[in-house]
Every structure is written in C-alpha cells, then in structure tokens.
Amino acid sequence: MSSTISAAQASKVSDEGTRRRYDLMDMARRIPDVIELGRGDPDLATPTHIVAAAKEAIDRGVAEISDPAGLPELRRAIAEKLARDNGVTVDPKDGVVVTSGGQEALFLLVQTILGPGDEIIVPDPRYTSYDVAIKMAGGVMVSVPTHERDGFDVDPDEVARRITPRTKAILLITPGNPTAGTITPPHIRAIAALAIRHDLLVISDEIYEKFLYDGAEHLSIGSLPGMAQRTITLNGFSKTYAMTGWRIGYAAGPSTFMRELRRRKALCSVCAPVVSQWAALAALRGPQDAVTEFQQIYTRRRTMMLECLDRLGFTYGEPRGAFYVFANTSSTGMDSIDLSAKLLQEAHVLIFPGTGFGEQWVQYLRITLLQPDDMLAEAMRRVERCLGNEADKAMKE
C-alpha cells in the first residue's frame, strides 16, 4: 500500500480524486433536499466578537496592506499562542508568516523546503492538496501506510524504513484528514528522534488540534528537545473558530525558513486579507468559550454518527480528532465510488469516496459531522433506509 510516488502519479491521484469530488458536488446542486456530509467547512457561525472586530477594522479603514508576514500584533499573538498552548517557541518577528488560509501555507511551505528530487515522507491516506504542492516543487512523495486497526496512527518504524539519502522532510498531520486519527505522543517522540538522527525537517500540520475525543492527547513535535530548529508548524483559524471563508492561516518555525517563506508569500499574494487578520487577532486574544462549545457540539454529533455506522455494520479507525469519520464500507459489497453515487442519487446524501484521499482507499467513505443535529440525524436515517432496502433485496435474491 505504500512506496515512492512520482510527481506524475501524485498528480494523477489528486486530479482524479478532485474530479470525482466535483462531479458529486455538481450532481448534488441539482438535488433540492440534499444533505451534504462531504466538504470539510464548519457549519457553525464565526463567534460574534470576531465578526465585531472585523467590522471595527473596516470602520477604522483598512486600505493599506500589511507586511507580507502579517500584522505585527497578530504575529505576536500567534507566537504567544504557540508558547502557551503547544510549548513551541518562535520569534514573533521573523518566525511567523500569516497566510491566506492554511492551503496557501502548505503550498508555500512545500515550495520553500523541497527542491527537484527531494523526498518527503507523507502519511497515507492524506489531504491530496499536498500532492500538487510536492509535484510543483519537483519533489517526490514517499507514502507511509496507516491502518484502520491502529486508528490510522503513524508507525515510526514504517517512517524509518522509508528514509533515504534523498529524504528532506517528514509531513505529520494530527489530527488527520480524512481519517480523524491522531499520532500518539510516543510515536511523535520516536519520529522526532528519527528527524534529529537523520537531520530532517518536519512539517507539522496541526489545524485540527482543538478537537480531540475520548482522552486523546495532542503533542506538538516542535516542542520537543532539538526540534524547534527543524519544525515548521502549520495552523489556522478556519476549523478552530469556524472561519473558513475568512482565509487566514499561518506557518511558524525557524527564522531562516520563515524569511524565505515571507519572500514567497509576497510574490504570491502580497499579504493575507487585512480585515481577516484583525479578526484573527480577536480570535486569539478574545474569549475561547466558543471553541469549547464547538467541541461539545462535535462530540455529540460524533456519538450520533458512530451509533449509526455501528448499526450499519461499518467499521472505522477510532476518530480521535477533527470532525470526520473514515468509514470502511466493504460490508455493503460496493466500492466507495459506486456507494457514494448511490447515496447521493437515492438517499440525497452527499458523502465523498475515500479515493479522493488516495486511490487505494476504495472501500472507505469520508463522512463529516458538519450539519446541525437534526439534519445529521435525518441524513443518517436516509442512509440506513437506502442501505437497508439494498440488504433486503440481496436477501430475497
């Protein structure tokens, strides 16, 4: 299930997965009562104090652009957040770059770190936007398998087996998309030891860090001894504060890399939206009650979802974080491409096939928790009716 993936192969996987997702979304637009459990955009409202801060910024006037790395006030707040919440120390002046969403951060990071032929170790399944970024940098993606039975944790021994003289970096995503799995602290520590031993960089994507379940722990690899100078932490505001449309993210790490990232940011899009930067500052400096409330809402929805999947006979790696379930649908006898089409056409529920996150995940669906409780319950009733009817037909035959 794993090995070195060429730029051409990575592009094919990403392009095909993207095409299928867009085909499903196009079909969904023609269904009036469709319930979407596909995309990863939070359905909850941005907290009111964040919206108010944006309005105040507009009233003050925001005609001028900021430094490409972001407002100094926001960079300081990010550095303070990383020290307080993650134990990660960065220079607020030269060690933080604010980006137009996490997507831009990951793209610019990969372009900054990788050169032609450089290898980067990437967990599988994964968010395939990384595939495109790696391809455009001329890099080579080396896939590390993860497994449902382990909650899609990353095994350090599997990482070690894939390190070669051409390895430049390791990508960690915890909690993960699409699996909702986490990399457990012992494995984080073991991977840190590998990075130090082989002089590797680490990109640590922690955008779902605030949403954890059943006692799962989040450990930022950049907080470990010897890792500050080789770790770039990627995070943002879209998930934690329900600010997807505000397009505000950041990368933080060693000043040497961040200065180069700042240069690329300036060339790419000058600076992140200034109104959104002031809103992000309010998010970090203001009350955090909404984050706790969001966690409680997702916990409740997660319970509802897992109970339904259990009734359907689906299995899944324990979703310890984020707001997804990566469900194994092999008990239906259908692959996820056909099954997602069936659920959309007959049950009017949009769910993405696992092939959007790596072609071999043909027996998996990524299901999101991003609908109000009543809509989520209705969606799962529709799925149960649809698949129950299919089971009845099979028994009669």
Q: How much is the pTM?
A: 0.91
Instruction: Tell me the β-bridge partners of 204.
Output: 172, 233
Residue 178, token pair as written in the block: 């699409």
pLDDT of residue 271: 96
Given a cut of 80, whether residue 11 has pLDDT beyond it is no
Quick check: is 132 in a domain?
yes
Based on the structure, what is the number of domains in the chain? Answer: 2
Q: Is residue 245 domain-shared with residue 334, that is, in the same domain?
A: no
Mean pLDDT of 362-382: 97
- Number of residues written out for the chain: 397
Q: Is residue 133 domain-shared with residue 8, that is, in the same domain?
A: no
Q: Is residue 303 domain-shared with residue 237, that is, in the same domain?
A: no
CA distance 246 to 300: 26
Given a cut of 80, whether residue 395 has pLDDT beyond it is no
Tens-place pLDDT, residues 26-45: 888 899 999 999 989 999 99
Tens-place pLDDT, residues 62-85: 888 999 999 999 999 999 999 999
Given a cut of 80, whether residue 229 has pLDDT beyond it is yes
pLDDT of residue 37: 96
Selection from 132, 129, 136, 214 nearest residue 173 by Cα: 129
Tens-place pLDDT, residues 280-293: 999 999 999 999 99
Domain boundary residue, one of 260, 285, 310: 285
Q: Is residue 166 domain-shared with residue 97, that is, in the same domain?
A: yes
The CATH number covering residue 94 comes to: 3.40.640.10
Given a cut of 80, whether residue 90 has pLDDT beyond it is yes
Return mean pLDDT, the chain: 92
Tell me how many degrees the CA angle 341-37-294 measures, rounded to the nearest 5: 170
How far is the first Cα of the chain from the last one, in angstroms, to the nearest whole number?
35
Which structural domain, as residue segments, surrounds residue 126? 64-285
pLDDT of residue 1: 37
